[in-house]
Amino acid sequence: MKPDESALQVRGLTKRFDRLAVDALDLTVRTGEFYALLGPNGAGKTTTLRMVAGLLRPDAGTVSVLGIDALTNPVAAKQITAWVSDEPMIYDKLTPLEYLEFVAGLWGIDPRLSEPSARELLVSLGLEPHLYERCEGFSKGMRQKVALAGALVHDPRLIILDEPLIGLDAVSARHVKGLLGDRVRSGCTVIMTTHILEVAERMADRIGVIASGRLVAEGTLAELRQQSGHNDTSLEDMFIALVDTEAVAA
Amino acid sequence: MSSAAALSWFARHEIRLAWREWLAMMTAGRKGRKRAAIIGLIVFAAIMHLPAYAVIGRFADLQAPLEKSTLIVMSATIFLAWALMLSQAIESVTRVFYARADLDLIMSSPVRLANVFSVRIAAIALSVMAMALLLSTPFVDVLVIGGGVRWFAAYGVVIAIGLSAAAVAIAVTIVLFHLIGPSRTRLVAQILAAIVGAGFVIALQIAAILSYGTLSRFAVLTSDAAAAFAPDLDSVVWWPARAALGDGEALLLLLAGGLILLGAVMAIFSPRFADTVVRVSANAAPALQGARIKAFRSGSRQQALRWKEFVLLRRDPWLVSQTLMQLLYLVPPALMLWRSFAESSDAIVLITPVMVMAAGQLAGGLAWLTISGEDAADLVATAPLPPSRVTRAKIEVVLIAIGAIFAPLIVALIFASPFQAAVTASGVIIAAASATAIQLWFRVQARRSQFRRRQTSSRLATFAEAFSSIGWAATAALALSIPIAALATGLMTACILVAAWKISPRRE
């Protein structure tokens, strides 16, 4: 693979808290790809993504976002990256539109471009009736949608999502999946952790399985099936088999 | 389980929760600090006997019958304590409605809600009394040591006024719910709680300035005019003062009155408590309107950050109440300033330390909200601008807000005394900058809603902030009267700051 084909290149990424959370991880995600990162609780998924997003400093390793060294030039890397966590972090006292105005301002986006984009995003996520209401009264699902709109309003080229569908109802989840699908089709790269294996199965171009801080399997669904030796097996069965094997090995 | 057993079980549960909340507040939620917290508390209580002796020691020999002016001072002091308890009780009641996570569980349990909420009302009264007893212990001890065991009756007075303060707080809060609705009650109750404690002292100060040209509230309380307006010596108004002096009959009547008041509030409001809680839950998502944006603003990234901080500060009910309180504290000096235009008075010097102190305190709170209280920490941390620029924008917001609040007073002071205005301006800037720096050095990421607990996250930061504000206020005051002494206090305060920086976790 040529270097310019990768949206994210992680090499030897290591992070230790009380124990080793991420263990010399190598990971490559191609441009325009929807990549699902799966793993059991405490496998190191969130820690990995937080290091990629610049929220945690790794103990060792390198992170390259679209060719930019995210550790030595974090501002340039952050300019083209968006991060959405499972716990939507928004401001209770701002309205969704004010929140998006703030995010666009932080990313230095021209208001003439960001304002119509913000309105369009909020409308497409079903938040039109709440544009001028403060977020303090919003349900978790609505807050998650505001946070997601905030992540998309600055038109990032790499979107990192940590369990973005938690708390969303079926209709909202479909909206979000549709939005993410549209972004991938327009050339954007999406990396997402999820415990909803059906989402990974249906949306991801490639799937990575992480356990004990290491990538234990990676590939398209067909490739993973081939690796497991069972062509008719479900992703859930493969995931459980991989994680169990890793647990036994550990 | 019988109804009585269920109630006693629930009462034990409430006491356990209150104890753990208090312990968490004392230990900043860290395990293994229980013993240190208890030792610290005992040491603190022991040390508090010294200022208590300085303040109240000379009154230990007081004997009944008292003259009117002494009765007025004692009654006013007890009323001030009652106002402070009322303030704390309003805060506690609001928290029970809005912040307790177990309401859904209680509401869905098969118990009589009126009984359960009676226990909860009693728990509020108990916690208010416990805190008041704790704070009053050094003062009562000093009186007992100096004046005999009869002063133990003062504890009874504290219990009685605690009962009545809790009862009034519950009644006021529930009446507010019915009058203005759950969403507005929260804000109004917070503002009320903040100003009710300070209001009485400030009103006395205002009266003192207008009548006697001094900030001392005792000038009003001990005046002939107050004695002339006060009721006769056999009036019920003096019961609390008499009870504190050891009058058993007055004490019993006072305790009975407090209990009857609380009982009446429990009987009247316990059944409605459940309705109120339901209304709060139903309104837990108030659709408060924000600004109707016509067009997104253009500007730099720091401008975006500053705009966000200003909007959040403006819409923060705690901040509104605290700012109002700080502004209330500034009313007496402002009034004094206004008087000094008409008649030249040396007392105008007193304005400077009050303003410097207020600036330090307000800046500390604002700095915590902007620097530590970041609700979308991940968003700001992943934004494409260096952390130093984020911090700078937040500090600018604190200093601009302080400037906007204090500039009018300083400008007015220029006309009265340009030199004092310069000293005051310097003091305000240095005190605000110091408090902001301390918050920066000791910052711990938290949600803005955790503001109440900011003092517990770092006791060092809290003490450093308080001593820095007091130190700069003293320095500014001395700079106007004894400049050489100001040099000494200024150096001492600077040393406090250096020490705070040395031990802060952000030094590196």
pLDDT tens for B156-172 read 999 999 899 989 988 88
Weakest-pLDDT range from A2-11, A83-92, A126-135, B435-444: A2-11
Phi, psi torsion values for A12, nearest 5 degrees: 60, 30
More confidently predicted of A243 and A84: A84
Structure confidence at residue A122 as a pLDDT band (50, 70, 90)? very high
What is the residue type of B502?
Answer: K
| Dihedral in degrees, nearest 10, Cα atoms A93, A95, A96, A99 | -60
Domain A1-80+160-169+188-250, classified CATH 3.40.50.300, yes or no:
yes
Residue B237 has pLDDT above 90, yes or no: no
Most confident of A184-198, B45-59, B105-119, B130-144: A184-198
Average pLDDT of span B309-329? 75
pLDDT above 90 as % of chain A: 51
Q: Where are the domains of chain A?
A: 1-80+160-169+188-250
Burial of residue B48 (CB within 10 Å: 0-12, 13-18, 19+) is middle
Structure confidence at residue B287 as a pLDDT band (50, 70, 90)? low
- Token output for B361: 């305190």
Q: What is B356-378 written as a DSSP string? A: HHHHHHHHHHHHIIIIIB-TTHH
Q: Nearest residue on chain B to A81, judged by CA atoms? A: B382
More confidently predicted of B98 and B230: B230
What is the residue type of B140?
Answer: V
CA distance B425 to B423: 6
Count CB atoms within 10 A of the CB of residue B43: 10
pTM recorded for the entire structure = 0.73
CA distance B313 to B290: 13
| Nearest residue, CB atoms, A89 vs list B311, B377, B383 | B377
**Which pLDDT does position A52 carry in this prediction?**
93
**Which pLDDT does position B491 carry in this prediction?**
95
A102 and chain B in contact, CB less than 8 A: yes
Coil, helix or strand for B432? helix
pLDDT above 70 as % of chain B: 79
Residue B83 has pLDDT above 50, yes or no: yes
Structure confidence at residue B344 as a pLDDT band (50, 70, 90)? low
Q: pLDDT tens-digit profile of A10-37? A: 999 999 988 899 999 999 999 999 999 9
Q: Which of these, A239, A179, A246, A248, lies nearest to A23 by C-alpha position?
A: A246
Tell me whether the omega of the peptide bond preceding residue A156 falls within 30 degrees of 0, making it cis.
no
More confidently predicted of B223 and B395: B395
| Dihedral in degrees, nearest 10, Cα atoms B444, B447, B449, B455 | 0
pLDDT above 70 as % of chain A: 94
Which residues lie below 8 Å from residue B409, measured CB to CB, with a gap of 6+? B330, B333, B334, B337, B351, B355, B424
**Do A78 and B297 lie within an 8 Å CB cutoff?**
no
Strands lying side by side in the sheet with A189-193: A81-84, A158-162, A189-193, A34-38, A206-211, A214-219
**Shortest alpha-carbon distance between residue B31 and chain A (Å):** 18
Weakest-pLDDT range from A174-183, B62-71, B332-341: B332-341
B282 and chain A in contact, CB less than 8 A: no
| Dihedral in degrees, nearest 10, Cα atoms B22, B28, B33, B39 | -60
Q: Which of these, B129, B335, B107, lies nearest to B213 by C-alpha position?
A: B335
CA distance A56 to B332: 50
CA distance A89 to A135: 11
Structure confidence at residue B455 as a pLDDT band (50, 70, 90)? low
Residue B345 has pLDDT above 80, yes or no: no
**Which pLDDT does position B285 carry in this prediction?**
47
Q: Measured between beta carbons, which residues in chain A are less than 8 angstroms from residue B380?
A: 106
Strands A20-30 and A6-16: antiparallel
Phi, psi torsion values for B400, nearest 5 degrees: -65, -45
Mean of the per-residue pLDDT values for chain B? 80
Residue B187 has pLDDT above 90, yes or no: no
Exposure string of B211-234, with b = 16+ CB inside 10 Å and e = fewer, is eebbbebebbbebeebeeebeeee
More confidently predicted of A100 and B150: A100
What is the residue type of B279?
Answer: R
A32 and chain B in contact, CB less than 8 A: no
Residue B341 has pLDDT above 60, yes or no: no
8-state DSSP, A126: T
| Dihedral in degrees, nearest 10, Cα atoms A203, A206, A207, A213 | -130
- The number of C-alpha atoms within 13 Å of A85 and in the hemisphere containing its C-beta is 20
| Nearest residue, CB atoms, A101 vs list B285, B293, B385 | B293
pLDDT above 90 as % of chain B: 19
Tokens 């209580």 belong to residue = B45
Burial of residue B399 (CB within 10 Å: 0-12, 13-18, 19+) is middle
CA distance B258 to B14: 22
Average pLDDT of span A51-80? 93
Average pLDDT of span A119-132? 91
- Token output for B109: 């349990």
Residue A111 has pLDDT above 50, yes or no: yes
**Do B292 and A132 lie within an 8 Å CB cutoff?**
yes
Q: Measured between beta carbons, which residues in chain B are less than 8 angstroms from residue A150?
A: 379
Phi, psi torsion values for A186, nearest 5 degrees: -90, 10
**Which pLDDT does position B135 carry in this prediction?**
81
Average pLDDT of span A85-95? 88
**Which pLDDT does position B80 carry in this prediction?**
81
Average pLDDT of span A168-197? 88
Q: Nearest residue on chain B to A113, judged by CA atoms? A: B296
Give the max Cα distance, chain A: 56
Mean of the per-residue pLDDT values for chain A? 88
Q: pLDDT tens-digit profile of A162-177? A: 988 887 888 888 888 8
Phi, psi torsion values for B344, nearest 5 degrees: -60, 130
**Shortest alpha-carbon distance between residue A56 and chain B (Å):** 10
Residue B47 has pLDDT above 80, yes or no: yes
**Shortest alpha-carbon distance between residue B357 and chain A (Å):** 29
Residue A102 has pLDDT above 70, yes or no: yes
Q: What is the ipTM of this complex?
A: 0.86
